[in-house]
Amino acid sequence: MSKSQVGVIGASGYVGAELIGILLNHSSVEITEISSGQNKGRPFSELYPSFTGQFDQAFVDNDTVIDASDVLFICLPHGKSEELVKQCVDKGKKVIDVGADFRLNDLNVYEEWYGVRSLFPNLHNLSVYGLPEMNREKIKQTTLVANPGCYPTSILLGLYPAVSSQLVDLKTLVIDAKSGVTGAGKGLSEAVHFANKNEGFNAYKVGTHRHTPEIEEKLVEMGAEDVNITFVPHLLPVNRGILSTLYIDLKEETEAETIQDLYEKWYADEPFVTVLKSGQWPNISHVTHSNQCHIGLTVDERTNRLVIVSVIDNMQKGAAGQAVQNFNIMSDITETEGLSMVAPSF
């Protein structure tokens, strides 16, 4: 079987580098060209020395990447992808956009939260939200996938069975989520300087994080009524990982064993979601460098509140790993291809 000709736009960032590492071990992929706005002409391995001798390819311009590839991964900040996606679609290319430009259906909400106006509104009608556990059949049929945000991935997977089964009152939902510093991207800021972050732990963008409307919109698609969530993200002094703790009232008294059984059956056939046994709780170190999501849950009987803990690696299931999972589905390749790594927790 011939290999897919794959290009990566924005390959110099953390997500781009993670993606290159996965694709190099993917049996159905040939990496054609890679681009970086600030590093044209430099070898990839000069930025990431661990790739020396394994991937020394130089960065080129975006047009060269597009023309050389049948499938494009675009790893750019919000507001930077839309024109490139238009160019790709017009040339008959498949695209996985790892940024935020196509995640929201409501473009007015997107403009409000991101401060960017869509240049090609009709293009958004082609895109499918790339959470495979929710939209697998739609992903199979599309040529444009909007890769989910990292926080929303952990949160939506944690809530999906309970919300779709109408077990919970979304008005009571409180999301307490923590991320490693790679979630902030490669750019330097005071918040992620070693002296400030080492041995520090803080909340940030309380009530204003841009993943908020994405979470709300997808919860509605899962069967919820209009919802306004309380979402408080935190920054952990670790490189990788997201741990989301979700607190939500049950509509009726329901035993923990019943909900445990629901979750286990719901995700029984999902290759990258594991519902832990009752009494076990996820740890970000157990999913680091993997495309796995681990979920633990219980019912606080005193308050009739469901408590869910969901963990992922923000660089893998939260970004590059999920992008490759979407590529596999779009390309009718075994969904786990290139993603079967299991890392020790030390």
Strand order in the sheet with 127-129: 59-60, 29-35, 4-9, 71-74, 94-97, 144-146, 127-129
Q: What would the two tokens of residue 203 be? A: 């909340």
Is 94 in a helix, a strand, or coil? strand
Active-site residue (options: 75, 88, 150, 293): 150
Alpha-carbon distance of 233 to 229, in angstroms, equals 12
DSSP string, 222-273: TT--S---EEEEEE-SSSS-EEEEEEEEESS---HHHHHHHHHHHTTT-TTE
d(CA 130, CA 136) in angstroms, rounded, equals: 8
Q: How far apart are CA 8 and CA 199, in angstroms?
A: 35
Q: How many CB atoms lie within 10 A of CB 189?
A: 10
- Count CB neighbours of 230 within 10 A: 13
Give yes or no: 150 in active site.
yes
Q: Which residues are catalytic?
A: 150
